[in-house]
Amino acid sequence: MPGVEDWINAPLQIVQRLFDECGAKEYSQKVEEFFRQKTSTQSHVKWIPSLNEVPLHNLQTNSLVRFRGMIQDMYDPEFYLGAYEVVNSESGNISLRSGKYKDLAQCAPKEKVDMNSKRNVIMERQMLYCVPIPAENEWTKRVFAEQSGKTSEAEMSSGGGCKRSLENDSPDDVEMDASKASSPDGKKTRTDPKTSALPISFFLCDIIPLIDGASNSSPDLNFPLPGEQGPACLVKVYGDDASLKLNSIVEVIGVLSNDPSLANFSETKLVIFLINSGAASMEGVEEQEVRSPPPSLVPRLHAIIINPLDIANPLLPPCTDIQGEIATDSILQEVSKLREDIMAVFSEALLGDQLAAQYLLCHLISTVYHRQDVVALGKFSLNISQCTPQSPLPRLLFSLLQNLTVKSHFLPLTLDNMNKLKFIPRKDYSANKISSGILQLSKQTNLVVDETVLQAGQLDASGVANMTALGNVISWQKVEYDFNFHKQDFPTDILVLILSEGKSILKCDCHVPLSASRSVSEIDSIYNGIETYLTPELLTKIRTFLTFVQNLKYTVPDAVQEALQGDFVERRRADSNAFSVDDFHSLLVLTRLLSLSLGQSCLSLDVFSRAKDLEAERLTRINSLPRSATSAAS
């Protein structure tokens, strides 16, 4: 008797059964309902092998898998046969098959697809190119892998460790798997080299050889950051989903399609006509290579369920889970102690500067929570100046933040990097794809910019464009994608921290000069001490805390709001030039972040008073700097 893993190992059999029972018009909803019910608990989701953790060669084609990634590009829709008729040449039996969630129409011996049948239905599906989450830190990947239960190569090679007892499945489920999840002739379908395979997308109507000299180079996986590793994936989506946007993070549960036959179809170098189109496809050679990469490098994943991952921290429990609510209460109870630990660590990391540590914590929990016209509310870019040039502080501080935050990237602002790196995504019309750039990052990614390595030199046109793009991210939280003939703004949410000798050449929301009480010569011993202090248990708590408070809902009571307005009026009355509207806005942003860092989602006047004290100390420090260092500082 088949086990409960049949819905993982043979999902297409269940799709075909629902197709036969419900008909072509209504079965799609039933398919999604079935698999959502099967994956309604995290324990069941963990049974499904993940492309992020399990090597592709250990997964079988047409099985159910998961994938976690960022939508890097959205291709034009693909046409395919949503339903097609199959004829058995020996018995004369005719059957209608579902074409969803597959790239190849598998026909048993003596069966063939009737391309002229009037029952064939041409449909379209959306195509998303997804890459591993850019700048995702190693600890994040490790925790995701541990949660998936992938701890040994033997477990990975056993089909993703999806075999489980029948205790958690109802008898109805088992009966359905055993008696109904079968092929139309009543036999289990298996991949057989004797069976024929026909692509169901872009069906052949005529064939013409491609132009000689087509590129044989390996495809560019188009990762935004250099040195990134992990599987890219071509996700095929059925139905309209307005929540799917460029650069959003998603978890996809769907049918894996990595049959070697797909590589053969692309290697034959064919120009394919759409059925009944009467004209050749408008796709050029380069676009065909982009849309049809080798499945061994870029597998296809036919999405049944797509869940947005707005919070990509695997340690943060889902709010809908009862255990998640218990864990959330536990976090709130420990906020005070955790904040003390974080402040101790950050103060040490910043050479004893407690004020800079306060602002660093506020920066790390900032996020864009609303957009009003062109203004991104909630952003809090930070410039810590007075860092010794060429010192190890920027890299050591980044290594610490890399160990605490979910996503982070280090960018040394050298002249070569400014002139030669590609910051801005650009549209490649010959390949009909978005060629990625460093600033194509998912929301709440930490970008640490090391300006201490900056030396005198000349910026070329590319360098000027790169610096302008980085400035736009800091000021407006937007990235202008280059579409050759025009530029288009895409909203982003990148936490930019700049470490510099003097005040940064890029205007940030907040400038804090570093006031070190420890010598740079002690920096190695300082960070060794921090590493010892951060036990695995404390690390887990801090990682959870930072994401938790970053996503707390924040409210301002009416009485407190009136007090804030009164304070602003009084300060303006005392000196209208000393306190502007922008200053008041910056103070409110700091107040919000300070309140959240204390675990308080409802603002109190006490927190507002503490925020004013921090700002007063910061401005006093700025005004005490030499005149050349304080010019235009705020």
Residue carrying the six token digits 């700048």: 135
C-alpha to C-alpha distance for 363 and 401, rounded to whole angstroms: 12
**Nearest-angstrom CA–CA distance, 76 and 56:** 26
Domain 322-547 belongs in CATH node 3.40.50.300: yes
CA distances from 130 to 222, 230, 252 (A): 10, 11, 10
Q: CA 241 → CA 13, 20, 83, 303, 541, distances in Å? A: 25, 26, 22, 12, 35
State both tokens at 364. 């790390």
Angle between helices 393-402 and 523-533 (to 10 degrees): 10
* 3 state SS of 572: helix
Rounded-to-integer distance, Cα 352 and Cα 617, Å = 16
Which structure tokens are listed for 173? 């489920």
Q: Which residues of 510-546 are buried (b: 16+ CB within 10 A; e: fewer)?
A: bbbbbbbeeeeeebeebbeebeeebeeeeeebbbbbb
pLDDT at 140: 97
Alpha helices of 433-557 — where are they, by DSSP H?
461-476, 523-533, 536-550
Residue whose C-alpha is closest to residue 220's, from 484, 436, 1, 516? 436
Q: Measured between alpha carbons, how far is 221 from 225 in angstroms, rounded to an integer?
A: 11
Task: Output DSSP code: residue 48.
Answer: S
Contact 488, 480 (CB under 8 A): yes
- pLDDT, position 201: 66
Pairing of strands 494-499, 382-385: parallel
The whole model's pTM is what? Answer: 0.86
Mean pLDDT, 10 residues at a time, the chain of 634 residues: 67 94 89 93 89 93 96 94 91 92 87 91 94 97 87 39 38 39 41 56 39 50 91 93 91 92 52 36 65 88 94 78 57 89 98 98 97 94 95 97 98 96 94 94 98 93 96 97 92 98 96 94 95 96 95 94 94 84 95 96 96 97 77 44
| CB atoms closer than 10 angstroms to residue 464 | 12
Judge contact between 484 and 429, C-beta under 8 A. yes
Amino acid at 442: S
Q: How many residues does the chain have?
A: 634
Cβ within 8 Å of residue 515, ≥6 positions away: 353, 355, 356, 386, 621
Tokens describing residue 178: 């055993």
Q: Are 144 and 138 in contact, with CB atoms under 8 Å apart? A: no
Q: Which residues of 112-129 are buried (b: 16+ CB within 10 A; e: fewer)?
A: ebeeeeeebbebebbbbb
Q: Which amino acid type is present at position 191?
A: T
Which residue in this structure is represented by tokens 């011993």? 525
Q: Give which of 517, 499, 501, 503 is closest to 347, Cα–Cα.
A: 517
Q: Residue ranges of the domains in the chain?
A: 6-308, 322-547, 552-634
CA–CA dist 553, 532 (Å, integer): 34
Residue 240: predicted pLDDT: 84
CA dihedral 221, 225, 230, 231 (to 10 degrees): -30
